[in-house]
Structure 1
Amino acid sequence: MEDLKVALNDHADLVSELFEKLSAELRSGFRPAVDNFVGFFHAIDWKEPWLICLLLFHLSVLLITIISRKNVNFQLCLSMVAFTGVYLAERMNNFLGKHWKSFASQNYFDPHGLFISVLWSGPLVFMAIIIVVNTLFTLCHLIIKWKKAELRHRARLARDKQE
């Protein structure tokens, strides 16, 4: 029983410590996060041709996603391509980290994969989220159509029984 009390006290201490850290971070506001983002943004040379092509690629995929919003099968394939791109991001980061001198002015591909996560995986996940939300809206509309048809069918059956 004593061991249980000690374990509970240790757990309570750990939770209170985590809560204090979280409240301290919330009190400091978003300033450190904004500073980190601005530093990340300024560290990148946005005029490099491969970065411009990457951004144009993501813009074109976004446009294709929006234009094809009525075609559910195509959107399913597009989401699979996006998820495959996210899945392969670690391998891409390793490969591009080894060969960065052939296309970039500096090595953006750190071992933790922050750059590839932000500029490759992030937009692809965003596109996949758009596709999922669009699919949910499509499903809601289909359910509404189905229920209306079901109600019409029941009304016809009730009318036929009365006659």
Structure 2
Amino acid sequence: MEDIKSAMNEHLDQMQALLEKFSAELKTGFQPAYENFMGFFHAIDWKEPWLICLMSFHIVLLLMVFLSRRNVNFQMFLFLMSLAGVYFAEKINSLLAQNWRSFAGQNYFDPHGLFISVLWSGPLLFISILLLVNSLFTLCVMIVKWKKAELRHRARLSRGKED
């Protein structure tokens, strides 16, 4: 019985320590993440022409997604191209890391690919998610239309048998 009590007390002590550690982490909040983000944000020279072109590319792509939301085939093309852009991000990163002096003021292209992930793959993944949601919505609308047409067809067939 004493072994059970001591094991229970040890377990409660571990739980208390975990709870205190968790509450201490909650007290610090998102401050470390915010500081890391701000450090990343301020390390980038946002006035470089190639960065402005990159952001413009993402904005134009997003506008194309919204303007072509009724064209399913074009949307699938955009979806595949944006996912291909994410797939080739590592190769793009290594290519840009080798040639950064020809277009940038500093080398943003680290071996881990953080910069390219945030400014290239992140927006492309967001756009891909929008395309996927639109495709699913279009698919649902198409299924409803198909089911209504099927029900109308069955109603016509049943009326024809009654006559």
The corresponding residue for 2:30 is 30
Runs of 4+ that moved beyond 6 A: 17-23
- d(CA) in 2 for partners of 1:67, 1:114: 31
Q: TM-score, normalised by structure 2?
A: 0.82
Q: CA deviation at 1:29?
A: 2.4
Corresponding position: 1:46 with 2:46: yes
Structure 2 CA distance, aligned partners of 1:162 and 1:19?
73
- Give the structure with higher Rg (CA): 2
Alignment of 1:91-130 (within 5 A): 91-130=91-130
Specify the code of the residue in structure 2 equivalent to 1:35.
E
Q: Which ranges in structure 1 are unaligned for 5 or more consecutive residues? A: 1-16
* Distance in 1 between residues matched to 2:29 and 2:71, nearest whole Å: 43
Question: Partner of 2:51: helix, strand, or coil?
Answer: helix
Q: Percent identity?
A: 65
What does residue 84 of structure 1 align with?
84
Counterpart secondary structure, 1:105: coil
TM-score by length of structure 1 reads: 0.82
What is the letter of the counterpart of residue 54 of structure 2?
L
Unaligned runs of 5+ in 2: 1-16
Q: CA RMSD in A?
A: 2.2
- 1:160 maps to which residue? 160
**1:159 deviation in Å?**
1.7
Aligned position for 1:55:
55
Please give the alpha-carbon distance, in whole angstroms, between the structure 2 residues aligned to 1:83 and 1:108.
Answer: 22
In the alignment, is residue 133 of structure 1 matched against residue 138 of structure 2? no
* 1:59-100 CA distance string (max 9 Å, x none): 111111111111111111111111111111111111111211
Alignment: residue pair count: 148
SS in 1 for 2:64: helix
Q: Report how far residue 161 of structure 1 moved.
A: 2.2
